[in-house]
Amino acid sequence: MKLSDYMLSVGTKARAAADELVKTPSYKKNLALSAISRSIIENKTKIIKANDKDLNVGEKKGLDAASLDRLRLTENSIDMILHGLNQIEALPDPIGNMEQVSYRPNGLQIGKMRVPIGVIGIIYESRPNVTVDAAALCLKSGNSVVLRGGSEAFHSNRSLAQSISHGLKKTGLNESSVQFLESVDRKYVKELVRMKDFIDVLVPRGGKSLVELLSKEAKIPLIKHLDGNCHVYIHSDADLAKAERIAINAKTQRYGVCNAMETLLIDIDLAEKTLPKLVESFLAKGVELRLCKRSLEIVELENNVKKALQSDWAEEYLAPVLSLKLVKNIDEAISHINRFGSKHTDAIVTENYSVARRFLNEIDSSSVIVNASTRFADGFEYGLGAEIGISTDKLHARGPVGLEGLTSQKYVVFGDGHIRE
């Protein structure tokens, strides 16, 4: 079949499935999620074998440790996927919810109803869990979805997509509610991003280059998941024990994720007291440090301690590398974050309530955190069950995109023979 004919078929089926899903009651969507969960459990061995195939190919291609970490499926990570599915199943269905209902002076009753977006296209790189997370969130929010995973995870994604299809079939839902493009040819992506008659919104989830490419080529609105240049700022009024735990966790709990800290800012008043200990802790974890000029007056250069370049402040390393800068005060910290950050997630450690409030108000990021690790910026941790991605846009959704982020609203008006004079 020609590419254009195949993609026309995918789009037509997706639109038809979306029309069916808008009429599907919550209990039936939940039954489908439960059946998908059971299907993944039944096929767990097969899924892990498919993932092993992807990992072997990735190692031969020389994928770095962070990429292999994102790609790897284990018993534990599959259990986390299943837990996310169960959470989504347990969440209230947003579809049909009425908000801001009021009576006008003329007796009309007007409100907003939560509705599905329609057909979602999701293009993602080496994260097989996205296949299930995306399918589950789209189904629960009444949307059909077209999935195009990265070539690195092709066998893993296909195996998971087969389990999803089996679960849909068992509960009588249209199997085209979730379609997986079974090709790694980039021509399919170029065709998908131009299908404005069938796809209502695109969600690119991957590296900065992927998002920038799709932003240029897409004829369809995007919910963008850009890079995560996340900061932790240790203010002069911080509890230093908390500060060290938070900073170490934010960087080292997992490296290849978008909510890992990439730059640590410390008030200069604390430098003599905190910097040597923090440097020692990071070096013990195998983290390479890139320090500002003022820091290097306190800490000496060595193998894993280097002088930071200007480019380091805007870098998303996704690796055991951390830039560190001493700042005069909160003014300099806020200025640095808003200049070099990616508007993803930034945290402050302080016991000063007024300073914390100011940080919350003035940092222009999708998640702003007080006295906790940036690693909590995640749909699962926020109680969303899972996430399609973390949007750094300001329209239509911002932050972790869960069920509500995959819906829109329409006005509904109730009258009783009203006419406009």
In whole angstroms, what is the distance from residue 334 CA to residue 370 CA? 14
* Residues in a beta bridge with 321: 288
DSSP 94: -
Q: Which amino acid is at 186?
A: R
- Quick: pLDDT tens for 236-280: 999 999 999 999 999 999 998 899 999 999 999 999 999 999 999
Among 126-140, 206-220, 345-359, the least confident range: 206-220
Least reliable range by pLDDT among 148-157, 207-216, 347-356 = 207-216
Region of 318 please: left (phi>0), alpha (psi -120 to 50) or beta: left
Q: 272-308: per-residue pLDDT in tens?
A: 999 999 999 999 999 999 999 999 999 988 889 999 9
User: CA nearest 346: which of 359, 327, 355, 358?
Assistant: 359
Is pLDDT of 215 > 90? no
Instruction: Name residue 140's amino acid.
Output: K
Residues 6+ apart with CB under 8 A from 259: 228, 230, 344, 345, 374, 375, 376, 377, 378, 390
Residue type, 123: I
Q: Residue range 28-50: average pLDDT? A: 97
Nearest 5°: CA angle at 307, between 305 and 308? Answer: 115
> 25-54 as b/e, with b when 16 or more CB fall inside 10 Å?
eeeebbbbbbbbbebbeebbeebbebbeeb
The contacts of residue 216 (CB under 8 Å, 6+ apart) are none
Per-residue model confidence (pLDDT) at position 22: 96
* Model pLDDT, residue 109: 97
DSSP type of residue 109: E
The residue that leads in pLDDT, 340 or 212, is: 340
Mean pLDDT of the chain: 94
Average pLDDT over residues 26-49: 97
Furthest CA-CA distance within the chain: 81
Mean pLDDT of 167-185: 95
**Averaged pLDDT, 337-358:** 97
CATH numbers and ranges of domains, the chain: 3-225+388-414 (3.40.605.10), 230-376 (3.40.309.10)
Residue 197: pLDDT band (50, 70, 90) is very high
pLDDT band at 226 (very low <50, low <70, confident <90, very high): confident
Position 157 pLDDT exceeds 80: yes
Give the whole-number percent of the chain exceeding pLDDT 70: 100
Average pLDDT value for residue range 78-92: 93
**183, 159 in Cβ contact below 8 A?**
no
Q: What is the pLDDT of residue 392?
A: 85
Q: What gap in Å lies between CA 199 and CA 121, rounded to an integer?
A: 6
Q: What is the pLDDT of residue 66?
A: 79
